[in-house]
Amino acid sequence: MVALARKTLVYEWRRFLPAILAVGFAGLLQLLQAALVLGIFGSASVYITGSSADLWAGYPGTQSVNLGRSIDSGVEMRLRMDPAVSAVEPFHWVDADWRGPSDTGGVSVFVSGINARPDGLLFAHALSPALRARLNEPDAVIVDRADLDSLGVGIGDTAVINGHRVRVVGVSNGLRALGGVNVVASLATAAELDTDPSNANRMTYFVAKLRDPSDADDVAARLRGNRAFGPYDVWTAESFARRSQMYWMFDTGAGAGVLFLAGVVFLVGAVITSQTLVAAVIGSVREYATLNALGVGVGALRKVVMEQAFWVGAIGLLGSTVLGGLALALARSRSVPVALSLWTTLACLGLCMGLAIVSGLAAMRSLRRADPATLLR
């Protein structure tokens, strides 16, 4: 079998280049956009995904982890009473105002008061035991490396949170927050920083570790709905993390923006690609018509066009994968939050292959002009 589609693609590569570039850049844009969105909105749930807790107990209806309201401290007992629970820890969230030593004005910060013991659940994945240990010093806080500039501090500097003096004892990586700056402190320090008197004897969240994490759904169902300690609800870490990300993605309108942009990228890519493929078909229409005169069926000719579309898509996507990999590596080295799962990558690449195939189908229509009777004149 003569590989007409591939040989034409190689020989007339200049003709196909715009389509390959269109698919490639569409793929690159989709990949980077998805990575950025997932990275940025993934940081909305860093408190959950960076911790080793299996269950989260908080105020009913909490839509995102940063919107927690305090619940009764007695919930801790309720959690501990359950035989499936192996450890319970409080998480004290304080919305606070930061004043640094240098002139940064007021900075809105989210103070996370956590158990600083080495076996603590909160930020178990995000903070090393050595770093946690430093939080045991009075008024010690940890901030993210990427936030040092906006906070106007370095390690060892002091600052003021809600009128209370704190000292930066270390920096973390990957703890950037959405809409503010994360500050990690011990539970004792966080309690000092919380100036709301109504939060006495109350806690924003209690998190629990289970003996068997696979029971999380059942245990959460069992623990919720008990009103003895006032209103509270229990979620698995996975569902709470997803809810927090979805809240940011859709309630902020960013998700709709992303989908809109993906649609635009798809449309522009499809227009360029289909026009290029149509031009390629029309450029060879007399040859196709000759083949049809010789008895090569229209179906076989369509297959040639679709094969060209497939190769245009494959080469374009290869380019976008390579460029995307380089761009993500660069982003990671600059602490830009990016995250990409295998399935998201496949979805983006699949979308762009779909773009190439749709363009091929559009180009196939112009084979109608390959009527051999038009060659006789």
Rule CB under 8 A: is residue 342 a binding residue for other proteins?
no
CB of 7 to other proteins, least distance (A): 4
Cβ proximity of 358 and 274 under 8 Å: yes
Rule CB under 8 A: is residue 200 a binding residue for other proteins?
no
Residues of span 2-61 touching other proteins by CB under 8 A: 2, 4, 7-8, 10-12
User: 370: closest CA among 280, 274, 272?
Assistant: 280
| Residue whose CB is less far from other proteins, 108 or 374 | 374
Looking at residue 125, its amino acid is H
Secondary structure (DSSP) of 6-21: HHHHHHTHHHHHHHHH
What is the size of the binding site for other proteins (CB under 8 A)? 27
Partners of 108 in beta bridges: 97
Work out whether the CA dihedral 160, 106, 247, 261 comes out positive or negative. negative
Rule CB under 8 A: is residue 290 a binding residue for other proteins?
yes
The H or E element containing residue 343 is helix 342-365
Pairing of strands 202-203, 55-58: unpaired
CB of 128 to other proteins, least distance (A): 60
Main-chain dihedrals φ then ψ at residue 250, nearest 5 degrees: -105, -40
Rule CB under 8 A: is residue 281 a binding residue for other proteins?
no
CB of 261 to other proteins, least distance (A): 37
**Range in contact with other proteins (rule: CB under 8 A) among 25-33, 63-71, 87-95, 295-303:** 295-303
Q: Cβ of 192: how many Cβ atoms within 10 Å?
A: 20
Locate tokens 């629970």: which residue? 85
| Residue whose CB is less far from other proteins, 69 or 286 | 286
Q: Cβ of 70: how many Cβ atoms within 10 Å?
A: 21
**x-or-dash pattern for other proteins, window 353-372, by CB under 8 A?**
-------------------x
Residues of span 300-339 touching other proteins by CB under 8 A: 300
DSSP state of 101: S
| Residue whose CB is less far from other proteins, 37 or 285 | 285
CB of 304 to other proteins, least distance (A): 10
| Residue whose CB is less far from other proteins, 223 or 315 | 315
**Range in contact with other proteins (rule: CB under 8 A) among 87-95, 262-270, 296-304, 324-332:** 296-304
Strands annotated E in 276-353 = none
> How many angstroms separate the CA atoms of 365 and 362, rounded?
6
| Residue whose CB is less far from other proteins, 70 or 284 | 284
Residues that bind other proteins (CB under 8 A): 1-2, 4, 7-8, 10-12, 284, 286-287, 289-298, 300, 372-373, 375-377
